[in-house]
Structure 1
Amino acid sequence: MLLGAIADDLTGATDLALMLSRGGMRTIQVIGVPRAEDVHVLSQHDAVVVALKSRTAPPQQAVTQSLASADVLREAGAHQLFFKYCSTFDSTDNGNIGPVTEALLAFLQTSMTLACPAFPANGRSVYQGHLFVGDTPLAESPMRNHPLTPMRDSNLVRVLQRQSEGSVGLVSYTSIDAGPVVIRKALMEAAAAGHLQVIVDALSDRHLLDIGQAADGMPLITGGSGVAMGLPANFIRAGLLHPAKPSSKLDAPRGRRAILSGSCSEATRAQIGAALEAGVPAREIDANALIAGNVRAEDLRDWALKQDSNRPVLIYSSANPKIIAEVQERHGRAEAGEAVEALFAKLGAMLADAGFTRLLVAGGETSGAVVQSLNVPGLAIGPEIDPGVPWTRSSGGRDVALALKSGNFGARDFFLKAWGLLQ
């Protein structure tokens, strides 16, 4: 194995696995902390991406799971580790980006790493340490109302410093735009200045490729999937990787199609709107009715089975921020989120048992819940639907095709066009 990656949620892991696969790396995604007895199997791949559910876990739990994963990845031969988090830097003042990164630095006995969530293809850029979503500063974007990790500071140096013990620095645009030699020099200067973590600016794919080249040989890299764009080329230049051709179609199991959406992001709500306009059969889940016990997975499954088998069905709980705030105020943030996750987990398994073998799931927490209920141990990476979102097929366990979409990703017609890549 060349690269071992640890992602703090399932859709982020899939996003990263796609990026590495596009770069020619034979990549497998593992669900949950990998087992020590699977080291031999993992070592057969160029890259292994571990999908945890640690983004909003208590910090110590996130650290423990990440270190356990790192231990197995290193045992399997990983030359370099990558800690993957969201391109909108989803976290709180308690973590978990800072605590996990510092724990991995100590584990690897290395003194510094870079932090780069930028993903220009999806409108995420970093300038002078400030994260932008499109043309909008992070703190003014819809992420300011995220139900679990509201982002109300666009300055990533400040955000990361509040959740870290060591010093956080910045390598700004001037150095980044000058190319990999200058970037590497700036990173070395930051390390000499005592910074454990360094935010790096990035406005384009060229910047990401140059950052990746500058990071050649660094024991640990952290960021979104975008900065992984330049990593496969490092292994190719070193003669360690003979690139494989990524797939353009996914051989999917025969069966019916369903869309399960628990994301409340602006992008996902637009995708739901497009599906409704196109006449996709749909059922909306009312969170208040769900918590009151008036929504049953069995009834939703039965409704889905009655729809036209030649069309996908859409089941969603994706209210606007005002409704979300009202539900959370009435029932509590944790209870509301857990109720939705539990319903989709149960429903996902029921639909699979009923012959729905092609599932598109929107939202990181929802995707994690559904995959866990399906008892899928790993995913083989297929073709890209939109930047950051591929089709996958389960490797082991129940045979299903899965598209696991981060809430903020995908074009407006995502729910409609995804199915054309299956055969």
Structure 2
Amino acid sequence: MSTTAPRFGWYADDFTGATDTLAVLARAGLRSMLFMGVPSAEALIAAGPLDAVGIAGAARAMPPEAMRAELAPVGRFFRQIAPNVLHYKVCSTFDSAPHVGNIACAIQTLHPSVENRWVPILGGQPSLGRYCAFSNLFAAAGTGGAVYRIDRHPTMQRHPVTPMAEADLRVHLAQQGLQGITALHYPLYEADALPGSLNTLLGHGATAVPEVSNVSDTPFVPTLLDLTSADQLASVGHLLWQQAQRARLLAVGPSSVAQALIACWDAQVSAPASALAPSPGPVFAWAGSLSPITAAQVQAATSYQRIPVDAHRLAHDIAYAQATQRAICAGLQQGHHVLAYTGPTDGASAPSGGASAAVAPASAALVARVVQAQADNGTPLGRIGIAGGDTSSHAVQALQLWGLSYQTTVCPGVTLSRAYSADPSRDGLELMLKGGQMGGTDLFERLLGAG
């Protein structure tokens, strides 16, 4: 997979999803690095030759104006290094809204950095229990859980920031300002009709596909593609790669974008990741997610000393934050694995209203202080885990990391990465980041490694 220029670039709208795409690419044999922001020339040199270059961001939590400021330099960077495919990686549940994480805004900002007029949007990632059929998105509730239409999903329909009230992704994205969305539905895959249908869309509007309008006068043509089975990945990947070889392409979707291209390239996914080695020292985990799935994972983490944290006090009471840090460090220094959590489990209070915006940065600052305190005490941490998308994004920034590479898979959708930092106490740190919907009930126990 060696190339002069990377063949694949990606920007992830949150840090947890960024590491999932990193894992997909690395396990397929591509030399891949995830950078914490647009990388400097020095960081690119330190990373060495790469087939896939990623940037972890936080656009999912930003209003449109901030998204444009975030993504403009990203677009300039990827135009300079010129990957064949630029992937705007979104959460597999597509949770977003006109006022925050606006996917239409992202497309409008990034599209000038590529030449291809076609913008494929992949719905679904079957490997994570996400399925898109006739443009409607369905998602499992937890690993192996029951599958719901996204607007009836027990968690996503009640998401505290971006509740999903619409299952048809064409309608969902149109509400964010993405007009003229066409669609290619999965029966076309079985009939081997994808290339011809796409040529019709691009050349003569949407006359060959019912119920969509002619978009030939727009600067780009957004097209939603179904994914209901892993067997469809190669067909979709061939379509994407064919277009990317004609002109550089912007694609949108979860890690299934990378999976589809890998299937097209016939890249051999490596054997299942070997069992995670036991951590040589105490593991520190922080759960900032309010997801019921994360709550169940916290309850099942019986190998840890569990410390409930009052989210509001953490964000607004310096003395309380310092006392929490001391309690965590005391447990670690006594040789215990420690799991601190702000979710509504075992009596800890959950943030509400405007308080929630301050919790993630306060949590991240505390994580960084614990890591630094352990290093100062001569007992640096070797492995940490963070649950919660916003908390993960802030924590990586607070830890002052410049990059992550793939180490192993803890469970589907959850990656353990190796951290790179100019600070020797953090360089080489093993870091697990996970979103609220990801992982089985035993996730935190798995993080400890094989016994």
Bucket of the pairwise TM-score, normalised by the shorter protein: 0.7 to 0.9
Aligned with residue 344 of structure 1, among 363, 366, 374:
363
Aligned with residue 167 of structure 1, among 180, 194, 215:
180
The reply to whether residue 154 of structure 1 matches residue 167 of structure 2 is yes
Q: 2:181·2:223 contact (CA, 8 Å) conserved in 1?
A: yes
The reply to whether residue 386 of structure 1 matches residue 389 of structure 2 is no
Q: 1:33·1:52 contact (CA, 8 Å) conserved in 2?
A: no
Q: 1:280·1:314 contact (CA, 8 Å) conserved in 2?
A: yes
Cα displacement (A) at 1:302: 1.7
Closer, same or farther in 2 for the Cα pair 1:342/1:64, shift >3 Å? closer
SS of aligned partner of 1:98: helix
Residues in 1 aligned to 2:275 and 2:115: alpha-carbon distance in whole angstroms: 42
SS of aligned partner of 1:11: helix
The reply to whether residue 406 of structure 1 matches residue 435 of structure 2 is yes
- TM-score, normalised relative to structure 2: 0.82
Q: 1:128·1:173 contact (CA, 8 Å) conserved in 2?
A: yes
SS of aligned partner of 1:375: coil
Cα displacement (A) at 1:37: 5.8
Query: How many residues were matched structurally?
Result: 406
Of all paired residues, the percent bearing the same amino acid is 28
Q: 1:24·1:245 contact (CA, 8 Å) conserved in 2?
A: no
Cα displacement (A) at 1:67: 3.1
State the one-letter code of the partner of 1:282: R
Unaligned 5+ residue runs, structure 1?
none
Aligned with residue 261 of structure 1, among 283, 287, 291:
287
Tell me which residue corresponds to 1:185.
196
SS of aligned partner of 1:91: coil
SS of aligned partner of 2:344: coil
Closer, same or farther in 2 for the Cα pair 1:394/1:23, shift >3 Å? same
The reply to whether residue 33 of structure 1 matches residue 43 of structure 2 is no
Q: Please, which moves more after superposition, 300-309 or 250-259?
A: 250-259
Deviations 1:70-91 (A, max 9, x none): 3223322422211100001021
Tell me which residue corresponds to 1:286.
310
Tell me which residue corresponds to 2:75.
70
State the one-letter code of the partner of 1:170: A
State the one-letter code of the partner of 2:436: G
Tell me which residue corresponds to 1:138.
150
Cα displacement (A) at 1:286: 2.1
The reply to whether residue 9 of structure 1 matches residue 14 of structure 2 is yes
Residues in 1 aligned to 2:352 and 2:442: alpha-carbon distance in whole angstroms: 30
Cα displacement (A) at 1:110: 2.4
Cα displacement (A) at 1:32: 1.4
State the one-letter code of the partner of 1:345: A
Q: Please, which moves more after superposition, 168-177 or 244-253?
A: 244-253
SS of aligned partner of 1:160: helix
> Which runs of structure 2 are paired with 1:299-338 in the superposition (5 Å)?
299-307=323-331, 309-319=334-344, 327-329=351-353, 332=354, 335-338=355-358
Closer, same or farther in 2 for the Cα pair 1:61/1:36, shift >3 Å? farther
Q: 1:129·1:170 contact (CA, 8 Å) conserved in 2?
A: yes
Closer, same or farther in 2 for the Cα pair 1:415/1:64, shift >3 Å? same
Residues in 2 aligned to 1:421 and 1:368: alpha-carbon distance in whole angstroms: 28
Tell me which residue corresponds to 2:385.
360
Tell me which residue corresponds to 1:116.
122
Please, what is the CA RMSD of the aligned residues? 2.7
Q: 1:29·1:378 contact (CA, 8 Å) conserved in 2?
A: yes
SS of aligned partner of 1:408: coil
Residues in 2 aligned to 1:211 and 1:67: alpha-carbon distance in whole angstroms: 28
Closer, same or farther in 2 for the Cα pair 1:252/1:280, shift >3 Å? closer
Tell me which residue corresponds to 2:299.
273
Deviations 1:275-310 (A, max 9, x none): 1xx252111122343355276332222212332654
Residues in 1 aligned to 2:79 and 2:282: alpha-carbon distance in whole angstroms: 40
Tell me which residue corresponds to 1:60.
65
Q: Please, which moves more after superposition, 57-66 or 371-380?
A: 57-66
Q: 1:33·1:65 contact (CA, 8 Å) conserved in 2?
A: no
Residues in 2 aligned to 1:421 and 1:207: alpha-carbon distance in whole angstroms: 34
- TM-score, normalised relative to structure 1: 0.87
Unaligned 5+ residue runs, structure 2?
1-5, 141-146, 206-214, 375-379
Residues in 2 aligned to 1:289 and 1:305: alpha-carbon distance in whole angstroms: 19
SS of aligned partner of 1:55: helix
Q: 1:246·1:383 contact (CA, 8 Å) conserved in 2?
A: no
